[in-house]
Amino acid sequence: QRKVRGRRNKMAAGGDQAVWAQWSQEQQEFLKSCFADLKAEMLAPMKASIERLVETQKMQGTAIKEVQQKASDNEDEILGPAVRVEAHEALHKRWQERLEDLENRSRRQNLRILGLPEAVE
């Protein structure tokens, strides 16, 4: 059966060419123009869809760039106060150490040692 099918396919292909050759030039041109029109008719909606997709993609790309820029701007705005907070924390720590040192120095004068008079000069 395979050999028979193969022969049929070859005959059909040859037969198509034979039928095509029998048609006049005018008929062939008419068929070609019909197929071209059909092709254009079928491709037009696809092209329109592709164009809409491309436009949508461009708009989304623009929106993504805007979001990235805003995120970058927000990061910059957050970093400014964060640096100031760190500087204030360092200053606070330094003042706290200085306050503790002054308190310790003021307490030294309040010490009393038993057995020694207070005014020894």
- The share of the chain scoring above pLDDT 90, in percent, equals 32
pLDDT given for residue 50 in this prediction? 93
For residues 94-118, give the mean pLDDT: 82
Tokens (6 digits) for 83: 């640096």
Per-residue pLDDT averaged across 40-66, rounded?
Answer: 93
Tell me if 20 sits within 8 A of 28, measured CB to CB: yes
Model pTM score = 0.42
Left (φ > 0), alpha (ψ -120 to 50) or beta: where does 114 sit?
Answer: beta
Average confidence (pLDDT) over 21-29? 80
Highest mean pLDDT among 10-19, 64-73, 83-92, 99-108: 64-73
* Average model confidence (pLDDT) across the chain: 81
- pLDDT band for 80, please (50, 70, 90 cuts): confident
